[in-house]
């Protein structure tokens, strides 16, 4: 078709139309790079090997065969002229000799009126996923594909997942308390806006329920939930039963269930963090809930062992312990105090072992830890937070001296009761033998009631402090 025969728009839209066409011509003039094609030579376990293709680590490729859909893979390593590829889909049916080519990234369809994009946005092999306000209220997988049958995602831009870390001197310190709506946390383990904290527990003690309470009641502009490596059944239950319609409206859920390949589990955690970073960079306060950090480390272990990295501690190679801080340090306060990401990472303690290598490493890099006790859960105490083993490392910076003193006094009395609990239960303790233990026995019922809370009951920060003060004031009044 001759350009002279194209119907030109009205003069009022001439400038916008010209800009749109100039952008299209610029992208066309940039040319299409020569396609680099390799050949699949080996498939062993989880890893594929390809020869004849040179692609940087982290880039995306497609393995294609006639008669079946291409398989998306990522370059995770190389040896001489061989590239190690990790699949993001089912490799059933692949044979030696299949072609391997760099993959085109996700790019939103250009629309009239959109600002021009850099031609570099269309580089092949670079992983870019949708970020933007269009993700609010949606459930997507690790590749940004909707899982909620809500149609295509609009009002998003394609951005890379890898970002430069923020200079530590450009971050504002954690100085402002964050209301989580959970009484035990607000009163005893006060969280600061921009803090990174871990939920440590074995399986089945209420981690997901506690996350759902915080997703509903925490005072945040946006909630980003990353369900990484957990049971697929929990995805729909978390969205419908725990998050609810009100919580979902301001939330983004990224799901990479346990049956997803290890590459997608890693990518899901990075994608959820990138979504949170996008909203933080726009000046919003974000709550990031990731369940779980342990499954993320396990996915990295699967990949590292598959490409030949030697195991170090309980089967975990060194790269697992290097990946954890790289992910966790991306959250926190934004540049010069603009926006924040307050992050909660669940850590699965295998066999309730708090010295599990991943739990031990996570405790060292996080700003606090909340330990959930199986004994409390079995006794019907929910949330099953073990106050003695839990700590918030920034609490002294975000609460008043009066609040801190009441919490310290509460912790001391509770600890005194726990140490004398065995004697009390077998009837070996006589009242009056220890005034401090007498006080702990007298206050125990009120303290236990304070630490318990229904999953659909909200407890604001100010109310939590007043309730905790009332419990402790009974001790002072009895003297």
Same domain (yes/no): 204, 272: yes
More confident residue, 214 or 35: 214
How far apart CA 196 and CA 30 sit, in angstroms, is: 44
- The range of the structural domain enclosing residue 56 comes to 38-102
pLDDT number for residue 355: 72
pLDDT digits 0-9 by tens, 232-290: 788 888 888 877 777 788 999 999 999 999 999 999 999 999 999 999 999 999 999 99
Neighbouring residues of 188: CB distance < 8 A, sequence distance ≥ 6: 387, 390, 407, 410, 411, 451, 468
pLDDT number for residue 254: 96
Same domain (yes/no): 47, 160: no
Same domain (yes/no): 434, 389: no
**Least reliable range by pLDDT among 181-185, 329-333, 471-475:** 471-475
Which among 221, 416, 462 is positioned nearest to 338, based on CA atoms? 221
Please give the full DSSP string across 6-27, using - where no structure is assigned. Answer: SPP--GGGHHHHHHHHHHHHHH
Average pLDDT, the chain: 86
How far apart CA 271 and CA 287 sit, in angstroms, is: 15
Same domain (yes/no): 158, 238: yes
pLDDT digits 0-9 by tens, 193-221: 999 999 998 888 888 889 889 988 999 99
Same domain (yes/no): 176, 56: no
Neighbouring residues of 127: CB distance < 8 A, sequence distance ≥ 6: 58, 59, 60, 74, 105, 160, 161, 267
CATH of the domain at 449: 1.20.1270.330
Q: Please report which confidence band the pLDDT of residue 467 belongs to, taking 50, 70 and 90 as the band edges.
A: very high
| Residue finishing a domain among 102, 124, 155 | 102
Same domain (yes/no): 382, 422: no
pLDDT number for residue 121: 47
CATH of the domain at 300: 3.40.50.12240
Which among 287, 384, 413, 302 is positioned nearest to 340, based on CA atoms? 287
The answer to whether residues 228 and 290 touch, using CB atoms and an 8 Å cutoff, is yes
User: What average pLDDT does range 344-367 have in this prediction?
Assistant: 85
User: What average pLDDT does range 56-76 have in this prediction?
Assistant: 89
Q: Return the H-helix or E-strand segment holding 184.
A: helix 183-188
Which token pair is 448? 């236990």
The answer to whether residues 295 and 265 touch, using CB atoms and an 8 Å cutoff, is yes
**Least reliable range by pLDDT among 165-169, 302-306, 417-421:** 165-169
pLDDT digits 0-9 by tens, 406-440: 999 999 999 999 999 888 888 888 888 889 999 99
CATH of the domain at 92: 2.40.10.170
pLDDT digits 0-9 by tens, 374-409: 999 999 999 999 999 999 999 999 999 999 999 999
pTM for the predicted model, two decimal places: 0.85
Same domain (yes/no): 212, 146: yes
How far apart CA 296 and CA 300 sit, in angstroms, is: 6
191 by DSSP, 3-state: which? strand
């Amino acid at each position: 078709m001759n350009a002279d025969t194209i119907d030109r728009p009205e003069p009022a839209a001439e400038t916008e139309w010209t800009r749109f066409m100039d952008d299209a011509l610029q992208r066309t003039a940039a040319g299409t790079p020569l396609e680099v094609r390799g050949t699949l030579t080996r498939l062993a376990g989880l890893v594929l090997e390809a020869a004849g293709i040179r692609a940087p680590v982290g880039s995306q490729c497609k393995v294609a065969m006639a008669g079946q859909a291409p398989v998306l893979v990522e370059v995770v390593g190389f040896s001489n002229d061989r590239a190690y590829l990790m699949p993001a889909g089912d490799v059933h049916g692949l044979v030696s000799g299949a072609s391997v080519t760099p993959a085109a990234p996700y790019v939103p369809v250009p629309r009239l009126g959109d600002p021009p994009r850099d031609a570099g946005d269309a580089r092949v092999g670079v992983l870019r996923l949708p970020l933007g306000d269009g993700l609010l209220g949606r459930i997507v997988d690790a590749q940004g594909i909707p899982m909620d049958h809500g149609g295509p995602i609009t009002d998003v831009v394609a951005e890379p997942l890898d970002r430069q870390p923020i200079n530590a001197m450009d971050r504002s310190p954690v100085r402002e308390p964050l209301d989580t709506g959970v009484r035990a946390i607000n009163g005893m383990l006060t969280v600061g806006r921009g803090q990174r904290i871990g939920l440590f527990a074995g399986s089945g003690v209420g981690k997901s329920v506690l996350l759902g309470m915080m997703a509903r009641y925490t005072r945040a502009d946006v909630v980003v939930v990353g369900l990484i490596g957990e049971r697929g059944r929990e995805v729909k239950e978390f969205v419908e039963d725990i998050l609810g319609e009100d919580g979902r409206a301001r939330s983004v859920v990224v799901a990479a269930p346990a049956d997803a390949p290890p590459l997608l589990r890693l990518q899901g955690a990075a994608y959820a963090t990138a979504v949170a970073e996008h909203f933080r960079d726009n000046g919003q306060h974000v709550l990031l809930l990731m369940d779980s950090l342990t499954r993320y480390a396990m996915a990295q272990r699967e990949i590292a062992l598959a490409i030949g990295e030697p195991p170090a501690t309980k089967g975990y190679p060194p790269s697992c312990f290097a990946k954890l801080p790289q992910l966790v340090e991306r959250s926190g306060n934004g540049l010069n105090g603009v926006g924040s990401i307050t992050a909660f990472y669940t850590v699965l303690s295998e066999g309730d072992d708090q010295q599990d290598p991943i739990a031990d490493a996570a405790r060292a890099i996080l700003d606090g830890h909340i330990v959930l006790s199986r004994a409390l859960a079995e006794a019907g105490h929910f949330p099953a937070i073990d106050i003695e083993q839990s700590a918030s490392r920034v609490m002294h910076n975000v609460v008043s001296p009066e609040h801190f003193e009441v919490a310290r006094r509460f912790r001391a009395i509770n600890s005194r009761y726990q140490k004398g609990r065995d004697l009390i239960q077998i009837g070996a303790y006589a009242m009056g033998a220890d005034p401090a233990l007498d006080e702990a026995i007298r206050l125990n019922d009120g303290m236990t009631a304070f630490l318990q809370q229904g999953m659909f009951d909200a407890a604001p920060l100010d109310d939590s402090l007043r309730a905790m003060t009332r419990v402790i004031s009974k001790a002072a009044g009895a003297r």
